Structure 1
Amino acid sequence: MSINEARAQLILALRQQGIRDARVLEVMETTPREKFVSPEFADKAWDNQALPIPFGQTISQPFVVGAMTAALGLKGDEKVLEIGTGSGYQTAILSKLCKRVFTIERYRPLLRIAQQKFADMRLHNVVSKCADGGLGWEDQGPFDAIILTCAAPIRPDTLLGQLKPGGVLVAPVGQGSVQELLRYRRREDGIFEEEELMDVRFVPLLPGTSG
């Protein structure tokens, strides 16, 4: 099967699984996932499955990427914080749907690889750093939207504190092998509304940096 056929098949599958946001689907169709997977998995780049990347991390299943991205409800003018750059695939998706992405990765070698991909793809609205993602990026906040691509053990209050009134945070939350994907909305009065979206499996959010 050619890349074009595999890509078309994946987008059809995402529609069938309930991804309805046309902008998200278009960006996922035109973002070359094969550039973000490890070379040994290049033939599976457009499969609807998570794939391993270095340091025990993963590039998320496209359905989960689509669902989490759609849950943010981006319109195009937002400032977004991403916790867990990983392969850079989710970052690239976000960069085409908002004004600016600030992304944090704890594994320095992973971040260097992702940064090179951002440069190669001319993603000039991505700002990245190696840091403890659980602390967020306070001096660049507050953010219109925040997304975690790793599982917070409990409600991520530090990150919620960096969310603008009216903003949305989407994160896997839980300490087991299966977590709950939650969407938090910060009301204008500062109160957070919590919504359960689905069960997911993510690597844990870890403190500190590595490498």
Structure 2
Amino acid sequence: MSTARVVEKEGFAALALRLRGEGINNLDLLTAVEQTPRTMFVPPQFAGDAYSSRLLPIDCGSFVEGADLAVRLLHLLNLKAGQRVLEIGTGSGFTAAVMGRLTERVLTVDRYKTLVTGAQQSIEKNGIRNVIVRQADGSNGMPGEGTFDRILVTAAFPSMPRQFVEQLVSGGMLIAPVMVSDTECRMLRLVKTGSRFDREDLFEVPYLPIVPHLAQAL
């Protein structure tokens, strides 16, 4: 077995153990994560940390969240076959790839061309065909793309991004980070029921504030 494969196997086993300790033992989700080698989504020099819980830097001043947080968010989304998902903030493409294995269609957008190209290549290498990666300003969601069952945002808004709510189906769910103070960012979950919303405050997260518009140079 190649060294890379051993790193994957051991890294995933340790991650699965930590997640089970948190009560995350959804077999479909864990299988989708195992089938999506995370070392393919992080810079080569960080391959040894691909399954760790630490933030890893990627191009354009961005980062990939730790493996534990990425899977915890996917667990909270309660993804199912047949769903349409929108992700704002593609980053490395890892979460989009895992979501693609679990749902009908994923549209993921990022403002950086470099990240979009890299994510697209990694997702294609994994043989995943139902994830669309696009360079776009996702600060208002993706109006004109219809509605989604799930929306995952990985860039922090100054307040709950209400503009996404029209893009959710009834029964749909939005998970987004919101700056609750100058230094604290918390993940919030909104579930839409008819025209009502149930809001739940989840936990602190290390996301960067959202920047509108496409990046000019990258």
TM-score (norm 1): 0.94
Query: Does the alignment pair 1:136 with 2:119?
Result: no
Q: Deviation of residue 59 (structure 1)?
A: 1.0
- The amino acid that maps onto 1:81 is L
CA distance in 2 between partners of 1:200 and 1:10 (Å):
18
Q: Deviation of residue 145 (structure 1)?
A: 0.6
Identity %: 36
CA distance in 2 between partners of 1:15 and 1:98 (Å):
23
Rate the CA distance shift 1:32–1:139 in 2: closer, same or farther, 3 A. same
SS of the residue corresponding to residue 55 of structure 1 reads helix
CA distance in 2 between partners of 1:17 and 1:177 (Å):
26
Query: Does the alignment pair 1:110 with 2:135?
Result: no
Query: Does the alignment pair 1:191 with 2:196?
Result: yes
Q: Deviation of residue 80 (structure 1)?
A: 0.3
Query: Does the alignment pair 1:165 with 2:170?
Result: yes
1:79 pairs, out of 66, 72, 84, with 84
1:95 maps to which residue?
A: 100
Rate the CA distance shift 1:148–1:192 in 2: closer, same or farther, 3 A. same
- Residues 178 and 202, structure 1, Cα contact 8 Å, conserved in 2: no
1:182 pairs, out of 185, 188, 192, with 188
SS of the residue corresponding to residue 111 of structure 1 reads helix
Query: Does the alignment pair 1:153 with 2:158?
Result: yes
Q: Deviation of residue 195 (structure 1)?
A: 0.6
CA distance in 1 between partners of 2:153 and 2:108 (Å):
10
Structure 1 gap segments, 5+ residues each: none
1:50 maps to which residue?
A: 55
Q: Deviation of residue 209 (structure 1)?
A: 0.8
Q: Deviation of residue 177 (structure 1)?
A: 3.5
- The amino acid that maps onto 1:92 is A
Q: Deviations over 1:122-159 (max 9, x none)?
A: 21101121111112111212111100111122111111
CA distance in 2 between partners of 1:194 and 1:21 (Å):
24
Q: Deviation of residue 17 (structure 1)?
A: 2.4
Structure 2 gap segments, 5+ residues each: none
Q: Deviation of residue 84 (structure 1)?
A: 0.4
- Residues 11 and 29, structure 1, Cα contact 8 Å, conserved in 2: no
Query: Once superposed, what is the RMSD of the aligned Cα atoms?
Result: 1.4
Number of positions where the alignment pairs a residue of Structure 1 with one of Structure 2:
210
CA distance in 2 between partners of 1:119 and 1:93 (Å):
12
